[in-house]
Amino acid sequence: MYFDNTMNDKIPIFPLPLVLLPGEKLPLHIFEAKYKKMIEYCLKHNQKFGIVNSRNNDTLSIGCTAEITQITAAEGDTGEYDILVTGVERFIVKSYNYSKDYKQAYVKTWQDIDDSIDETLLQETNVFLYEVLMKLGASAKISQINMPNAAFEIASMLDIDKRAKKMLLKSQSEKDRLIILKRILKKAIVKIDYDDPAKVGYHNYSQFEA
């Protein structure tokens, strides 16, 4: 287990029944008073907030910071917000703080123990990614686009189920994450070939599973 002090010591926390990964974009509708206050605080102080899985029963509570990249007022005079956030950095909760209406946490950055890149494994995973995207009707021009160079970048292109996301979030090795993604993509190829790709289509395809 490896921690460091690169992250702010205390951050606002938004518990949600989902898992956010670094690089992933997530739309949120903010309607509860305490979380509206949290968003206003983050905007005022240019601060990220943390998203943790509210249904997490694990000993370790690992989450991901969320940066607000877009915000609009919701329709009507409700004071609600529609925001778009992007996952930035993984963290582990050391303890919680309840001094405000919304939950806060003392956190440490969750870092990789092994951050080396297996270029062969990365290339193999990208080959499977390309095959999946083509089978699901992506444009042939995708071959002209630079393929991802990291596991979380690959993951951000897929609708991965929560169980698989938890595995990726906890992993402290880029190699392990690529192995997980390669397995997910191989499984998706089998499923797509079993189904009728013409009927499935990328936008209607069910979540990728580990």
Question: Judging by DSSP bridges, how do beta strands 10-16 and 49-53 pair with one another?
Answer: parallel
CATH of the domain at 45: 2.30.130.40
Cα 132-200-178 angle, rounded to 5 deg = 25
Asked whether residue 7 falls in the same domain as residue 101, the answer is yes
For 123-127, the CB contacts below 8 A with 24+ separation are 124/182, 125/151, 125/154, 125/178, 125/181, 125/182, 125/185, 126/154
Q: State the total domains in the chain.
A: 2
Asked whether residue 75 falls in the same domain as residue 155, the answer is no
Q: Does residue 210 form part of some domain?
A: no
Asked whether residue 49 falls in the same domain as residue 125, the answer is no
Last residue of a domain, one of 110, 128, 151: 110
Rounded Cα–Cα distance for residues 182 and 124 (Å): 8
CA 28, 31, 34, 38 torsion: positive or negative? positive
Rounded Cα–Cα distance for residues 86 and 139 (Å): 25
Asked whether residue 29 falls in the same domain as residue 65, the answer is yes
Give residue-wise pLDDT tens across range 155-176: 998 889 999 999 999 999 999 9
Asked whether residue 177 falls in the same domain as residue 159, the answer is yes
Rounded Cα–Cα distance for residues 173 and 152 (Å): 12
Last residue of a domain, one of 110, 135, 170: 110
Asked whether residue 93 falls in the same domain as residue 127, the answer is no
Give residue-wise pLDDT tens across range 74-126: 666 677 889 999 999 999 999 999 999 999 999 999 999 998 999 999 999 99
Give residue-wise pLDDT tens across range 9-58: 799 999 999 999 999 999 999 999 999 999 999 999 999 999 999 887 77
The model carries a pTM of: 0.85
Asked whether residue 106 falls in the same domain as residue 123, the answer is no
Q: Does residue 46 form part of some domain?
A: yes
Residue 104: which domain range?
3-110
Nearest in space to 178 (alpha carbons), one of 167, 192, 163: 167
